[in-house]
Amino acid sequence: MRWQIMISALNLAGMISSASHATQPGDAPPFSMADFHRSAGIEIDGRIEPAWLAAPVVDAFEEYRPRAGVPASVRTEVRMGRDATHFYLVARLFDLDIARLRTGLARRDNFSNEQDWFSVAIDAVGSSRGAQLFYFNARGVIWDGLLNEEAGTSTPAADFEVEVATSIDSDSWVVELRIPFEELRYRSRSPDTWRVIFRRNYPREDRHAMAAPAIPSSPPCLMCLAAPVQPPGELPAPRGSSFVPQLLGLGTRETGTTDEGWTSDLEPGIDMKLRAGPATVFDATVNPDFSQLELDTPQLSSNQQFALAFPEKRPFFLEGIDILDSPLQAIYTRSITDPAWGARGTHRGSWDGALLTARDDGGGTVVIPGPYSAGYEAQDFHSLATLGRVRKPIGRVTLGGVFTDRRADDDYNTVAGPDLAWRLSPTTRVSAQWLASRTRDEVETQGDAIGIDMLHDSRHWRAALTLRELDPGFRADNGYIPQVGIRQVDAELRYKFLGLRAISELAPYVNMDTREDFDHRTVSSAPRLGTQATLTNNMIVTGEWRPREQVRLHAGGELHSLSQGYLSLTSYPVAWLPVLTFELTAGEAMDFTADRVGNGETVSASLLWRPLDRLVIEPRFDMTTVRTDQRARESAAQLLATVHLTARDRFRLMLQRVAFERDVQGSALLDTSRLSGSLLFTHEHSLVRRIYVGVAFARDSDRATTLPRETLEVFLKVQSGMSAATGVRW
C-alpha cells in the first residue's frame, strides 16, 4: 500500500513536470560587486561616502504588490562591495513624502510589513536552494534568518553578526551594512556565483512591495529568480575559534511548597565556536542558560487532541536549523528540554549536513503518539539525544537522510530514513520521506512512516497534496509527530484573481483533510470552503465555512459531526497602530475531555500599539469556550511592553495569565490559573556581548487547594565573547 502511494505520487509529479514550462535559474541579468581590495576604508555611518560612488548601481526595481510587473513607485539604489574581510552594501531609498516614513525602534526580528524596510537575500553557495535573509528598517533594526526553498519555509531563528547604520534626510533614507565573510556560508575561497535578491517594503495608503530582479506576487521559488553575482577575487578562508563565557546569578523564593524560603545559585556556562573553513562550523555549549529568552506566546492547550509545538529560540540550536527541516518533522529541538551540555557540527557546500548531540537533564514531558490522541509521560530522567541530517543536491533533485537517537539507561528510541526533494520547475516541487523507528520503553516496538508532499504554485493556480502513512508502532522522541497509526490525505486547490479594484489578490479555495486508522475507521474528516482576500493596503481577510467536520476520539467511539465558520483579519492601519489581528471560530465545537459536541467559539485578538516612538505595547488575548451540559472555558492573555532607551538598551515588561475552568450549572468542577511575568533590562552590544538584569514571578492557583504556589526570581546574567583574532570583545 505505502509503495503504491509513493509510486502514484511520483508519477503524478512527472505528469505535472511535463506540463510545466520551467524557467531555470540565471534568467535575471547579473549584478556587479565592487572590489575595495584590502581595506574598503568605509565607515559604517549610514552615509554614502565617495568610495561608494565607483560601485555599480542596481536600480531596476519592479513592484510585485499590489500590482506585479509595473515599475516601482519610488526609486531605490543599491551598491555592493567587498574588501579582504567583509561584504558591504549600501541602499538609498527615495521617498515621495519622508514625513510619512513608517519606522521605529523594535526588538531584533520583531518588525514586519507594517514598517518601511529594505532586504537582501544572499545565497553564497549559489545553489538557489536557500539563502541568508537580512531585513533592515530605517532605525537600523535587524530581522535576519534563513530561507529553505525545498521545505518552503523561512525562519528568523538564526542571527548573524551584522554592523548596520541608517540615516534619514529630506527625500530618502539610507541603510549601510558590513557583514564579516565569516558570517556568510560559502563553499570555498574560489567563489561560486552568488545569487542575490533585493526587496523593499513601502506601506502607505496601499502597501507597495518591489524587488530587483523582478519577482511575481507569490513566488513559489524565490532564489531561483535571483540575480547572479560574481564576487571579484578570492574569498577569505575564515578559520579560528571564539568563546562566549557567561555567568548567571539567580535568587529564588518559593511559597506554598514544602521547601519555602530563599535559595541562591551562581551558574557559569560557556558557548564555543570553531570555524574550520568557509563551509564548516563546530559549536559546543556547557551549562547553557536560556532563562532570559522571551516567554513563549501562550497557547490554548487544555481542549486539544494532540500536543502543541513551539518555535525554537535558544541560541545553541540555531546554527543550521534550516538543514534540520524535512517533510516529516523527525527533528524538533524543543524536545531537548534542559541540556547540560551539547556539541554540534554544521557543513554547507556541495552537500549540507548537521550533527548534534546533547545531554538532556529532563524536566519536561515525553509525547506518546497515537491515532486518536497523544499521551504524556514525565521526563524525570536524564537522556542523551543525538540528531543528524544530511542532504546532497544533484541537479533538480536533493537527496537527504535523517538519523535521531534518544537513550536513557536501557530505554531508547532510534529513527532513520532517506528523503528527497525534487523541484520539477520554478512552480512545482515534490518531496518524499521514509522513516523507520525502533523503540524500547518497557516493551519493544517498531514502525515505519512515509510522507509525500506536492505543491504547484503558479501565477493563478495553487494545488497542494499531502499523503501520510504512519504505523501504530512508529515513534520519534526527538521529533514532533504526535499522531501515528493513521493514513492521511490532505488536498487543497485555490485560484488567484489578481489586479482587481482595491484587491491585490482574491483567492477562493477548497480543502479536504481525511485521516483513517489502520482498521479503516475514520479518525477525522475536515472539508473546508473559503476565500482569502489581500487588499491593496495589505489588509488580509479570510472567511471559511467548515461543514460537517468529523472527529473520533477513541477506537470504537462515536464519530462526531460538527459545523463551524471561521473569520480572520490582519491589518496594518496607521503608524501608531501598525498591526491588528483578529480571529473567530464559531458554531459547533468539540469538547475533547467530555467526548461530546456542543456549541462554542474561539476568539483571538492582538495588536501592536506605538503611543511613543520608544514605547511599544503588544497585548494579546485568546479564549475558547465549549458549552454542553458542562461549560469549559480556557483563556490566555499576554501583555508585552518594551521601552527602548537606545538601539542597544531596553526595558521589557511581560505579563501573562492562563486560566481554565469547567463547571456544571454554575458549580465549579475545575478552576485553575497561572499568572506569570517578568521585568527585564537588556543591554545588547552585539550577539555575544549582553547583560540581563531582571525579576520574574509566577503564581499557580487551583480552587481544589488552599494556598497558591508562588515563585519569585531575581537574576543577573553577563556574557562576553572573545576570539583568537580579536581577543575579548566587550
For 173-221, how does the pLDDT look when each residue is reduced to its tens digit (9 = 90+)?
Answer: 999 999 988 888 887 777 778 999 999 999 988 889 999 999 988 777 8
Q: pTM value? A: 0.84
Q: Is the pLDDT of residue 295 over 70?
A: no
DSSP 652-719: EEEEEEEEEEEEETTEEEEEEEEEEEEEEEEEESSSS-EEEEEEEEEEEEETTSSS-EEEEEEEEEEE
pLDDT tens digits, 117-147 = 999 999 988 888 889 999 999 999 999 988 8
Q: Of 105, 133, 28, 38, nearest to 642 (Cα)?
A: 105
Q: Is the pLDDT of residue 453 over 90?
A: yes
Parallel, antiparallel or unpaired: strands 579-591 and 560-571:
antiparallel
Q: Is 299 left (phi over 0), alpha (psi -120 to 50) or beta?
A: beta
Exposure class string for 476-487: b at 16+ Cβ within 10 A, else e: bbbbbbbbbbbb
- Reported as a pLDDT band with limits 50, 70 and 90, residue 241 is confident
Q: Is the pLDDT of residue 301 over 50?
A: no
Exposure class string for 191-228: b at 16+ Cβ within 10 A, else e: bbebbbbbbbbbbbebbbbbbbbbbbbbbbbbbbbbbb
Question: How many helices and strands, by DSSP H and E, does the chain display?
Answer: 1, 43
The confidence score (pLDDT) of residue 182 equals 83
Cell 519555509 -> residue: 153
The confidence score (pLDDT) of residue 25 equals 44
Q: Is the pLDDT of residue 405 over 50?
A: yes
Query: Is residue 262 within 8 Å of residue 251, measured between CB atoms?
Result: yes
* CA atoms of 463 and 509, how far apart (whole Å): 10
- 290-306: average pLDDT: 49
For residue 414, which phi and psi values (nearest 5 degrees)?
-125, 135
- Reported as a pLDDT band with limits 50, 70 and 90, residue 291 is low
pLDDT tens digits, 152-162 = 778 887 788 89
Q: Is the pLDDT of residue 307 over 50?
A: no
Q: Of 310, 368, 352, nearest to 334 (Cα)?
A: 310
* CA atoms of 659 and 621, how far apart (whole Å): 12
Count of residues in the chain = 730
* CA atoms of 209 and 66, how far apart (whole Å): 7
Q: Is the pLDDT of residue 89 over 50?
A: yes
Total Cβ atoms within 10 A of residue 168:
16
Q: Is the pLDDT of residue 495 over 90?
A: yes
Lowest mean pLDDT among 326-330, 596-600, 687-691: 687-691
Cell 556560508 -> residue: 185
Measured on CA atoms in the order 34, 35, 36, 39, is the torsion positive or negative? Answer: positive
Cell of 65: 504588490
The confidence score (pLDDT) of residue 24 equals 43
The confidence score (pLDDT) of residue 355 equals 96
- 640-645: average pLDDT: 94
- Reported as a pLDDT band with limits 50, 70 and 90, residue 38 is confident
- Reported as a pLDDT band with limits 50, 70 and 90, residue 4 is low
Distance between terminal CA atoms of the chain?
60
Q: Amino acid identity, residue 513?
A: D
- Reported as a pLDDT band with limits 50, 70 and 90, residue 300 is very low
* CA atoms of 33 and 124, how far apart (whole Å): 13
DSSP 186-232: -S-SSPPPEEEEEEEEEESSSEEEEEES---SS-S-SGGGPEEE--S
Give Rg (Cα) of the chain.
26
- Reported as a pLDDT band with limits 50, 70 and 90, residue 305 is very low
Q: Is 627 left (phi over 0), alpha (psi -120 to 50) or beta?
A: beta
- Reported as a pLDDT band with limits 50, 70 and 90, residue 224 is confident
* CA atoms of 617 and 613, how far apart (whole Å): 11
Query: Is 16 strand, coil or helix?
Result: helix
DSSP 19-58: HS----TT-SPPB--EE-TT------SS---GGGGGS--B
Integer CA distances (angstroms), 96 to 93, 172, 206, 221, in order: 10, 8, 14, 32
- Reported as a pLDDT band with limits 50, 70 and 90, residue 665 is low
Query: Is 333 strand, coil or helix?
Result: helix
Cell of 285: 555549549
Cell of 134: 537580512
Percent of the chain predicted with pLDDT > 70: 91
* CA atoms of 277 and 291, how far apart (whole Å): 32
- Reported as a pLDDT band with limits 50, 70 and 90, residue 486 is very high
Domains by residue range for the chain, with CATH:
31-229 (2.60.40.1190), 306-484 (no CATH)
Lowest mean pLDDT among 127-136, 237-246, 442-451: 237-246
- Reported as a pLDDT band with limits 50, 70 and 90, residue 707 is confident
* CA atoms of 51 and 248, how far apart (whole Å): 45
The confidence score (pLDDT) of residue 164 equals 94
Q: Amino acid identity, residue 317?
A: F
